Amino acid sequence: MTYRPQYAYPPPPPGFVDEEFEYYFDSFNTPSLAIVPSNKVPLQLQQDAEYHIRAFELSGNTGPLLLRFWDANGNQLSQVQVENDLAYAATVSGAPPVGRLPVPLPDEIVCEAGSVILVDLASF
Protein backbone atom coordinates (compact mmCIF):
# COMPACT_ATOMS: atom_id res chain seq x y z
CA MET A 1 0.00 0.00 0.00
CA THR A 2 1.45 3.36 -0.96
CA TYR A 3 0.02 5.29 1.96
CA ARG A 4 1.56 8.31 3.60
CA PRO A 5 -0.34 9.99 6.43
CA GLN A 6 -0.96 13.72 6.29
CA TYR A 7 0.42 14.12 9.80
CA ALA A 8 2.75 12.18 12.07
CA TYR A 9 0.80 10.05 14.52
CA PRO A 10 1.99 9.72 18.10
CA PRO A 11 3.62 6.43 19.03
CA PRO A 12 1.30 3.77 20.46
CA PRO A 13 1.04 3.43 24.24
CA PRO A 14 3.57 1.21 26.03
CA GLY A 15 2.89 -2.47 25.38
CA PHE A 16 1.13 -1.78 22.04
CA VAL A 17 2.43 -1.75 18.46
CA ASP A 18 1.06 -0.22 15.27
CA GLU A 19 0.60 -2.80 12.53
CA GLU A 20 -0.33 -1.86 8.97
CA PHE A 21 -3.57 -3.60 8.00
CA GLU A 22 -5.99 -3.23 5.12
CA TYR A 23 -9.63 -4.25 4.94
CA TYR A 24 -10.90 -5.23 1.51
CA PHE A 25 -14.64 -5.17 0.86
CA ASP A 26 -16.18 -6.07 -2.49
CA SER A 27 -19.38 -7.57 -3.88
CA PHE A 28 -18.10 -11.10 -3.18
CA ASN A 29 -17.37 -10.79 0.54
CA THR A 30 -20.08 -8.13 1.06
CA PRO A 31 -22.86 -8.85 -1.49
CA SER A 32 -24.84 -5.73 -0.53
CA LEU A 33 -22.15 -3.61 -2.20
CA ALA A 34 -23.39 -4.90 -5.57
CA ILE A 35 -26.82 -3.32 -4.99
CA VAL A 36 -27.04 0.38 -5.83
CA PRO A 37 -28.64 2.27 -4.19
CA SER A 38 -27.98 0.76 -0.75
CA ASN A 39 -28.19 2.42 2.63
CA LYS A 40 -25.98 1.66 5.59
CA VAL A 41 -24.22 -1.41 4.21
CA PRO A 42 -22.35 -2.92 7.19
CA LEU A 43 -18.60 -3.40 6.86
CA GLN A 44 -17.55 -5.69 9.73
CA LEU A 45 -14.12 -5.21 11.32
CA GLN A 46 -12.22 -8.10 12.87
CA GLN A 47 -12.56 -9.00 16.55
CA ASP A 48 -8.86 -9.21 17.41
CA ALA A 49 -7.74 -5.58 17.73
CA GLU A 50 -8.75 -1.94 17.78
CA TYR A 51 -8.53 -0.45 14.29
CA HIS A 52 -7.57 3.11 13.35
CA ILE A 53 -8.92 4.18 9.95
CA ARG A 54 -6.39 6.57 8.47
CA ALA A 55 -7.31 6.41 4.77
CA PHE A 56 -9.87 5.15 2.26
CA GLU A 57 -9.08 3.66 -1.11
CA LEU A 58 -11.41 2.65 -3.93
CA SER A 59 -9.89 0.20 -6.39
CA GLY A 60 -10.80 -0.72 -9.92
CA ASN A 61 -13.64 0.69 -11.95
CA THR A 62 -16.41 1.44 -9.48
CA GLY A 63 -18.37 3.53 -11.96
CA PRO A 64 -20.14 6.75 -11.04
CA LEU A 65 -20.98 6.34 -7.35
CA LEU A 66 -22.04 8.59 -4.53
CA LEU A 67 -20.76 7.46 -1.12
CA ARG A 68 -21.24 8.36 2.52
CA PHE A 69 -19.37 6.58 5.28
CA TRP A 70 -20.46 6.22 8.92
CA ASP A 71 -17.93 5.53 11.65
CA ALA A 72 -18.29 2.75 14.23
CA ASN A 73 -20.08 5.17 16.59
CA GLY A 74 -22.79 6.00 14.02
CA ASN A 75 -21.38 9.41 13.05
CA GLN A 76 -21.68 10.45 9.40
CA LEU A 77 -18.30 11.29 7.87
CA SER A 78 -19.97 13.68 5.42
CA GLN A 79 -23.29 15.51 5.49
CA VAL A 80 -24.24 14.34 2.01
CA GLN A 81 -23.20 11.54 -0.29
CA VAL A 82 -20.08 12.55 -2.22
CA GLU A 83 -18.85 11.51 -5.64
CA ASN A 84 -16.30 8.71 -5.40
CA ASP A 85 -13.92 10.22 -7.93
CA LEU A 86 -13.93 13.61 -6.19
CA ALA A 87 -13.57 12.39 -2.61
CA TYR A 88 -11.84 9.01 -2.66
CA ALA A 89 -9.88 8.74 -5.90
CA ALA A 90 -6.61 10.64 -5.28
CA THR A 91 -5.93 10.59 -9.01
CA VAL A 92 -5.46 13.33 -11.55
CA SER A 93 -8.80 14.69 -12.73
CA GLY A 94 -10.01 12.81 -15.77
CA ALA A 95 -7.55 9.95 -15.28
CA PRO A 96 -8.88 6.39 -15.28
CA PRO A 97 -9.68 5.00 -11.83
CA VAL A 98 -7.33 1.99 -12.03
CA GLY A 99 -4.38 2.21 -9.66
CA ARG A 100 -5.94 4.69 -7.25
CA LEU A 101 -4.01 5.78 -4.21
CA PRO A 102 -5.30 5.83 -0.64
CA VAL A 103 -6.88 9.11 0.40
CA PRO A 104 -5.65 10.03 3.89
CA LEU A 105 -8.10 11.38 6.44
CA PRO A 106 -7.29 14.53 8.39
CA ASP A 107 -7.86 12.65 11.68
CA GLU A 108 -7.79 8.92 12.23
CA ILE A 109 -11.04 7.21 13.17
CA VAL A 110 -10.65 4.81 16.09
CA CYS A 111 -12.87 1.72 15.93
CA GLU A 112 -13.16 -0.84 18.70
CA ALA A 113 -12.36 -4.44 17.89
CA GLY A 114 -15.27 -6.10 16.10
CA SER A 115 -17.10 -2.87 15.37
CA VAL A 116 -18.97 -2.09 12.18
CA ILE A 117 -18.62 0.88 9.84
CA LEU A 118 -21.39 1.67 7.35
CA VAL A 119 -21.50 2.97 3.81
CA ASP A 120 -24.36 4.40 1.73
CA LEU A 121 -24.18 3.90 -2.05
CA ALA A 122 -26.07 5.68 -4.80
CA SER A 123 -25.53 6.22 -8.50
CA PHE A 124 -25.64 9.60 -10.19
User: What pLDDT score does 91 carry?
Assistant: 52
The SS3 call for residue 77 is coil
pLDDT in tens, 8-58: 888 989 998 988 888 999 889 999 998 989 999 999 999 999 999 988 887
Of the two residues 23 and 3, the one the predictor is more confident about is 23
User: How many Cβ atoms from other residues are within 10 Å of residue 45's Cβ?
Assistant: 19
